Chains A and B, each alone.
Chain A
């Protein structure tokens, strides 16, 4: 069974695809709340990706997930370079993993906390329905 590699397409990535044949391949997910490109990957290549990163795994849908964000950026870069959604994109990205070693290591250490206001949930938690025994 083939595996899949999904790349989420935000506005910046969408701009990079503008005017290329890949633009039409972008698919909406969750009712258009997100967009993505999907690469179909042969089993052995999928396993090769998994083997590169300790947390990476196939999820229940057959997608390769929990790869570092740096690797996803690299895959997107290769998609744009090769103007393709074929497995050669993943092969090229895997070959260049040594070039993102530092980024991956940094990601393993920390990721900035999102700068959002959480005071409303802290307020809700002040009076929980369930109380300690």
Chain B
């Protein structure tokens, strides 16, 4: 008889967790001595608004969320990712991870392959980039190839990507010069509240799971304040497991640049936390975490980065719903579920990503939809409930519309405690959520503070 119990957490993607954080100040000083120039990290702007900050990618690389990726990709690695969604080592990886710089800044720095560049964040030393290669990209070309086209990817891409798509704009707005090489954080940032209590990089997440005795864990992807439909999804999806439902439910919020009108990230993590603080899921079974990443809204492509992140955290299953990490109607609404049920050959997957060489141990839990059915008297699963015409489907946009009209969402939609968390951050940041002032201030504030660290004398010039 095959053993059905899951006794261990899945291995990291690529076999080993990347940990490129130097915690010894003396070692950090030694490494800084080897740097030949200093560069202040700047946000990527689209029409003057911040849409990405490369510091988030450096954090996610160095703390192991993106294992086995260790830095900014070389030209050959970039081509491999765009062409096959594989690293040169053969491991699945969906997105270009690049350190881009303007021609003007590149000339000013005067660095090249073999040099080390000290990266400064918020005026303090932050990380080192060991430059292996310098090359040029055509940002628009990278953007198109990253997300696909209806011609090349007819299985799931419905219309060409354009400037209404945030992720496409991120790649289109990259600078043309790429400095490729490994990142190392040499001045460990302090996470700002409230993010500090949700900071579980892969190593810490795995330690926490082991402490709790969890071997079966399911991930819930979020960029939203949870409504009762999300809660029903989490509770029901977690019935997958081995001989019993999953030990743990881990919410992993994607924290990064957002669109005007989205909920503030502070409200998102605290609202999810309220699900266990207010007792709707036991805190012993529910954890809230986050990953720093400026969401690309790449639906099936995004689901792959989610699998990378969550498997590295030690998570065994991943919920994938309709319109996963999507924006607009560029992809088939079931594109992610198509990928994880039969594969998308044009994107390099003739089988699901957990069944291909270099693929994942994390397993998909493809979920159709939950809606509120007055006849069932519950948050019903769409593949169960047959009460056509009377159920109500959830929509985050609809709920934001209620708030916009000054209406308190009923408890059938939002737990009262969750709504009050939204109000708490509404009091602090104002409305509309993620307004221009908030977005501008948060891009200066970021999610971290950096301890003061002296620059070596040769870099002060």
Interface set of A (CB-CB < 8 Å, partner B): 6, 8, 10, 28-34, 54-55, 57-61, 63, 65-69, 72, 107-114, 116, 118, 120-122, 124-125, 128-133
Q: Can you sample 7 A-B contacts with CB below 8 Å? A: A57-B397, A63-B398, A65-B398, A114-B426, A121-B274, A130-B197, A130-B273
Contact A30 B410 (CB under 8 A): yes
Contact B412 A113 (CB under 8 A): no
Contact A113 B406 (CB under 8 A): no
Question: Assuming A60-B322, A65-B398, is B423 touching A130 (CB within 8 A)?
Answer: no
Contact A128 B404 (CB under 8 A): no
Is the C-beta of B276 less than 8 angstroms from some C-beta in chain A?
yes
Number of A-B contacts (CB under 8 A): 132
Which among A10, A54, A57, A68 is the interface contact of B404 at CB below 8 angstroms? A68
Contact A128 B408 (CB under 8 A): no
The chain B residue sitting closest to A31, CB to CB, is: B374
Contact B273 A8 (CB under 8 A): no
Q: Inside 8 A of B411's CB, which chain A residues have their CB?
A: 33
Q: Inside 8 A of A113's CB, which chain B residues have their CB?
A: 423, 426-427, 431
Contact B274 A124 (CB under 8 A): yes
Interface set of B (CB-CB < 8 Å, partner A): 191, 193, 196-200, 204, 260-261, 270, 273-274, 276-278, 283, 287-288, 322-323, 328-329, 333, 372, 374, 377, 392-393, 395-398, 400-408, 410-413, 417, 420-421, 423-424, 426-427, 430-432, 435
Which among A10, A55, A118, A129 is the interface contact of B420 at CB below 8 angstroms? A118
Contact B417 A30 (CB under 8 A): no
Which among B261, B274, B405, B420 is the interface contact of A72 at CB below 8 angstroms? B405
Contact A118 B401 (CB under 8 A): no
Contact B393 A61 (CB under 8 A): yes
Extra contacts besides A10-B407, A107-B404, A110-B431 (12): CB < 8 Å: A31-B372, A33-B410, A55-B260, A63-B395, A63-B398, A65-B401, A113-B426, A113-B427, A120-B420, A124-B277, A128-B277, A130-B197
Q: Inside 8 A of B421's CB, which chain A residues have their CB?
A: 118, 121
Q: Inside 8 A of B196's CB, which chain A residues have their CB?
A: 132-133
Contact A132 B404 (CB under 8 A): no
Q: Inside 8 A of B403's CB, which chain A residues have their CB?
A: 111
The chain A residue sitting closest to B193, CB to CB, is: A132
Contact A125 B270 (CB under 8 A): yes
Q: Inside 8 A of B397's CB, which chain A residues have their CB?
A: 57, 59, 63, 65-66
